[in-house]
């Protein structure tokens, strides 16, 4: 097999597993340059592609190559000027879907970060899922977009890693620009701010630097916790902050902790922090089960990933810490199913994800419903139907109760889960069962038995 053939085959497989935008962006102009002693050298057009292929796609590329030539052990990625032939190769593949349509080119544009604003157009409010864990932050963002520089100034959003701070900050910038293209919006991380400041001090361009910042209508500074320990940066930033603030410009910050928890390191730091605290502080907490599931559904639709609902439920149950990890898990499972060319069962999903999670008793709403249906000996699907037959109504109420009680599902979510019933049905079910269980020891025993079944089957299955 020639290098070109090998790469063409591998690309064919990779193309199926990654999004169109990713494929075009990261695999364009790539080529196998050399193959010797089990080491393949892949030529890439720039450092960006190199980084992405190394960090994001390496394992997958290696697998696709090994399936064809098992002796391959390693891959080197090396930057080469794009050759016309490699570019042509990607574009002139035989399948019709491979021709880029203008719509797909829009996708491709997603990765274009405007250097004037540092905004990435893919971070929008439309793709931002709102749940109880982040609804305050979202509402504050909307208020800022509606009335920049007014009441919610500065806006300070804090929360742990991978919970959506950058996404929301960028979405504010994108939304304000969408309303008014003439607004001067700028997004910067505190680290980049510090670097730029340092450079401008060294090059004696500090005046330009200051003027540039004075001009912004909206200044977004991400991860301000990194200002800690940088006295000079803090000082400049403090002045800039005051200038912008006093002229009614909007400031938005994020941090991994509240301003109070940023260690105090001197007077300027204290003044900066108390300025930040004087604005609006909102936190983003860890998403609860229901939001995690909603995010997975939205991401699957966005990326055209087709996985069964039960798999999404399991991922939502197992991955709890961050949305970034949730996305990672979704990608992993998607790629694995494509690669193994089958729907992975619950056990397989668990074992693939087990590296990232602590073991726990995983139960999903679907499993609860199935267990309840089995227990009362009715067909599972009847529970989802809007039937009023007594032999179905009661098990349905019990399943609703358990999903609420054990998984903390909200009423609208439960209603929806049961074939789109009204949330008042779920409220009624929950109240009825929780009242009745106090007086009815038979029901109490039944609930205990049902819980035993799903807790044990999921632990050992
Ligand atoms: P942080 O800045 O808090 O570390 P990010 O904003 O980088 O987190 O979010 C990590 C990933 O999760 C990003 O891909 C982002 O698009 C996604 N994400 C975060 N919050 C949400 C949300 N509420 N809805 C949809 N996607 C989200
Ligand atoms: Mg961030």
Please state the rounded mean pLDDT for residues 131-160.
93
Does the annotation list 165 as a binding residue? Answer: yes
Per-residue confidence band for 319, with pLDDT thresholds at 50, 70 and 90: very high
CA distance 29 to 191: 32
Instruction: State residue 222's pLDDT score.
Output: 95
Say how many Å lie between the CA of residue 168 and the centre of ligand 2. Answer: 9
Q: What are the helix (H) ranges across 259-288?
A: 267-277
Q: In this predicted structure, which of 203-207, 260-264, 388-392, 399-403 has the lowest mean pLDDT? A: 260-264
Residue 343: pLDDT above 50?
Answer: yes
End-to-end CA distance of the chain: 44
Three-state DSSP class for residue 93: coil
What is the per-residue DSSP string for 29-89? T-EEEEEETTEEEEEESSHHHHHHIIIIIHHHHHHHHHHH-TT--EEEEEE-PPPHHHHHH
Ligand 1 atom nearest to CA at 256: 3
Instruction: State residue 82's pLDDT score.
Output: 53
CB crowding 326-352: b at 16 or more within 10 Å, else e: bbbbbbbbbbbbbeeeeebebebbbeb
Q: Are 349 and 333 in contact (CB under 8 A)?
A: yes
Three-state DSSP class for residue 215: coil
Instruction: State residue 362's pLDDT score.
Output: 67
Does the annotation list 442 as a binding residue? Answer: no
DSSP label at residue 180: -
Domains of the chain: 3-107 (3.30.300.180), 135-284 (3.40.50.300), 289-356 (1.10.8.60), 365-459 (1.10.1750.10)
pTM here is: 0.60
Please state the rounded mean pLDDT for residues 130-144.
93
Averaged confidence pLDDT in the chain: 85
With tokens 């002139």, the residue in question is 92
Instruction: State residue 98's pLDDT score.
Output: 31
Does the annotation list 162 as a binding residue? Answer: yes
Ligand 1 atom nearest to CA at 222: 2
136 burial level (CB within 10 Å; 0-12, 13-18, 19+): middle
Residue 118: pLDDT above 60?
Answer: yes
Say how many Å lie between the CA of residue 346 and the centre of ligand 2. Answer: 32
């Amino acid at each position: 097999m020639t290098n070109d053939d090998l790469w063409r085959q591998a690309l064919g497989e990779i193309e199926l597993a990654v999004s169109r935008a990713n494929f075009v962006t990261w695999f364009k102009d790539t080529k196998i340059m050399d193959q010797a002693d089990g080491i393949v050298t892949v030529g890439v057009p720039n450092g960006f592609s190199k980084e992405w292929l190394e960090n994001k796609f390496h394992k997958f590329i290696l697998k696709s190559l090994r399936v064809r030539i098992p002796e391959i052990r390693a891959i080197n990625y090396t930057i080469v000027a794009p050759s016309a032939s490699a570019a042509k190769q990607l574009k002139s593949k035989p399948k019709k879907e491979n021709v880029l349509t203008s719509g797909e080119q829009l996708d491709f544009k997603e990765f274009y970060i405007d250097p004037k604003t540092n905004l990435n157009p893919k971070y929008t409010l439309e793709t931002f899922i709102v749940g109880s864990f982040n609804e305050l932050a979202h509402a504050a963002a909307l208020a800022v977009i509606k009335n920049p520089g007014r009441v919610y100034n500065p806006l300070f959003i804090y929360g742990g890693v991978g919970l959506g701070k950058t996404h929301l900050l960028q979405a504010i910038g994108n939304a304000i620009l969408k309303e008014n293209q003439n607004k001067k919006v700028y997004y910067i991380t505190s680290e980049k701010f510090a670097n730029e400041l340092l450079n401008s001090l060294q090059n004696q361009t500090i005046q330009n630097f200051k003027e540039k910042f004075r001009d912004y209508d909206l200044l977004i500074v991400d991860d301000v916790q990194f200002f800690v320990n940088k006295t000079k940066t803090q000082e400049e930033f403090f002045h800039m902050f005051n200038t912008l603030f006093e002229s009614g410009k909007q400031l938005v910050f994020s941090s991994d902790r509240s301003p109070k928890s940023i260690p105090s390191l001197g007077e300027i730091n204290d003044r900066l922090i108390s300025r930040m605290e004087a604005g609006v502080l909102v936190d983003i907490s860890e998403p609860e089960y229901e939001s995690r599931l909603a995010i997975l559904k939205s991401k699957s639709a966005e990326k055209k990933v087709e996985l069964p609902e039960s798999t999404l439920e399991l991922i939502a149950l197992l991955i709890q810490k961050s949305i970034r990890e949730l996305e990672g898990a979704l990608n992993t499972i998607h790629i694995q199913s494509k690669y193994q060319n089958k729907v992975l069962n619950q056990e397989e999903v668990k074992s693939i994800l087990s590296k990232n999670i602590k073991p726990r008793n995983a139960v999903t709403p679907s499993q609860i419903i199935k267990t309840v249906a089995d227990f009362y000996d009715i067909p599972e699907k009847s529970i989802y139907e809007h039937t009023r037959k007594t032999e179905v109504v009661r098990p349905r109420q019990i399943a609703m109760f358990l999903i609420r009680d054990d998984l903390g599902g909200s009423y609208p979510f439960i209603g929806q889960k049961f074939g789109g019933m009204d949330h008042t049905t779920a409220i009624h079910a929950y109240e009825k069962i929780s009242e009745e269980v106090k007086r009815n020891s038979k029901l109490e025993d039944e609930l205990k038995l049902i819980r035993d079944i799903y807790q044990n089957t999921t632990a050992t299955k």
